[in-house]
Amino acid sequence: MHELGIVVHVIEQVEKVAEENNVEKVARLSLEVGEVSSVVPDLFRDCFEWSKKKTKYLQDCELELIILEGLSYCQDCGETYKTTEYAKKCPHCGSYNTYLVTGNEINIKDIQVVTRT
Amino acid sequence: MENVRVLEIKEDIASRNNEQAKSIRAELKEKKICFLNIMSSPGSGKTTLIVNLVNRLKDRYRIGVIEADIDSAVDAYTVAEKTGVKTIQIHTGGACHLTCQMSYDSLCALGVDDLDLVILENIGNLVCPAEFDTGATANLVILSVPEGDDKPLKYPLMFEVASAVAVTKKDVLPAFDFSIESAEKNVRMRKPDAPVFFVSAATGEGMDGLVSYVEGEIAKVAD
């Protein structure tokens, strides 16, 4: 249950950006979450909905979660494959000499904001 | 009038922690201090192993211990009483892992300039601590016999970040359905080059190998 900790961290960053840019409110937050980043999207949403009530700029903020596919690369045969289906073992040659290329990310992509004029 | 626009942030949320971890490691290497982060599930014998390790090393090296828990100071009292080395207890206040900031604050609170080795006993948990780099120069992951030899299969990341693995409580092996071969094979699947030590802190069996490994890690940063 570390989703709450991540939500708190994300909100802190976004509030900082909002403050620096003289924003009135943040309407939408887009977050890229890797398939194997160990973030559970539903739990993350619940934590976000609870936490946003305590913020200055994110009271009405909508959360967009963009899921990034988990892909691994095999150093023995050079092939790329879906991590969630085959984990550490390369389906092409059976080697375990593989590593994760994408899918472990938690990136704050962008925010849509309403500014005062 | 209201203006709507999009602000690009493009920030990897782990980046701040990772950057800080790198700078802690660089500072420790400059000061020639080995920082060993010990991780495992609760009850696997971290504290007992630390007491045993420290008592075997303390005549040759200056050692400090950081005990991290959600609450209580029982571990710090145990280590301080049984080893006599400088020990502090930190509380995460409910958090299931240590962030790099907590780790840095702990090093400052302990005072490390006069030490060769700092041992950090992380929160007992096989999930979250693996995701947060503490700035340690090596990660020792513990797997105890009663937990079962399949733990590396269930908690991949923890064993992928391991610099070495110690399989503890070897003395109770006859009572459990635990295969040494499978344990080693499962660790290798996650981290092919990590040394695996089978030990019993209670009887002292296998401890020499683990002590040599820690001495090697101390030598690495002292170079």
Assess contact for A108 and A14: CB atoms under 8 A: yes
CATH topology of domain B15-142+203-222: Rossmann fold (3.40.50)
The reply to whether residue B13 touches residue A107, judged by beta carbons under 8 angstroms, is yes
| Chain B residues in contact with A38 (beta carbon < 8 A) | 127, 131, 157
Q: Which segments of B58-122 does DSSP mark as H helices, in order? A: 74-83, 100-110
Q: DSSP states of B140-184 as a string?
A: EEEEEGGG-TTHHHHSHHHHHS-SEEEEE-GGGGGGS---HHHHH
Say what the pLDDT of residue B85 is.
97
The reply to whether residue A88 touches residue B4, judged by beta carbons under 8 angstroms, is no
**Is A97 part of the contact surface with chain B (CB cutoff 8 Å)?**
yes
Q: Classify the C-alpha dihedral B161-B166-B169-B171 as positive or negative.
A: positive
| Chain B residues in contact with A10 (beta carbon < 8 A) | 13
Report how far residue B48's alpha carbon sits from residue B166's, in angstroms, rounded to the nearest whole number: 13
CATH assignment, A3-69+102-115: 3.30.2320.80
Say what the pLDDT of residue A117 is.
65
Which CA distances in Å does B83 have to B60, B79, B92, B150? 14, 6, 24, 33
Say what the pLDDT of residue A1 is.
56
**Is A16 part of the contact surface with chain B (CB cutoff 8 Å)?**
no
Residue boundaries of the structural domains of chain B: 15-142+203-222
| Chain B residues in contact with A88 (beta carbon < 8 A) | 156, 189-190
Query: Locate tokens 């943040």: which residue?
Result: A26
The reply to whether residue B4 touches residue A14, judged by beta carbons under 8 angstroms, is no
DSSP conformational letter for B58: T
Question: Mutation test of the interface with chain B: which of A1, A2, A29, A68, choosing the one with the most B Cβ atoms within 10 A?
Answer: A2
Say what the pLDDT of residue B1 is.
62
Is the reported ipTM for this assembly greater than 0.95?
A: no
Question: Mutation test of the interface with chain A: which of B2, B3, B8, B9, choosing the one with the most A Cβ atoms within 10 A?
Answer: B9
Q: Within chain A, which residues score under 50 in pLDDT? A: none
Report how far residue B198's alpha carbon sits from residue A31's, in angstroms, rounded to the nearest whole number: 43
Say what the pLDDT of residue A37 is.
85
Tell me the nearest-neighbour CA distance from B54 into chain A, angstroms: 32
Q: Within chain B, which residues score under 70 in pLDDT? A: 1
| Chain A residues in contact with B5 (beta carbon < 8 A) | 112-113, 115
Report how far residue B39's alpha carbon sits from residue B128's, in angstroms, rounded to the nearest whole number: 10
Assess contact for B141 and B158: CB atoms under 8 A: yes
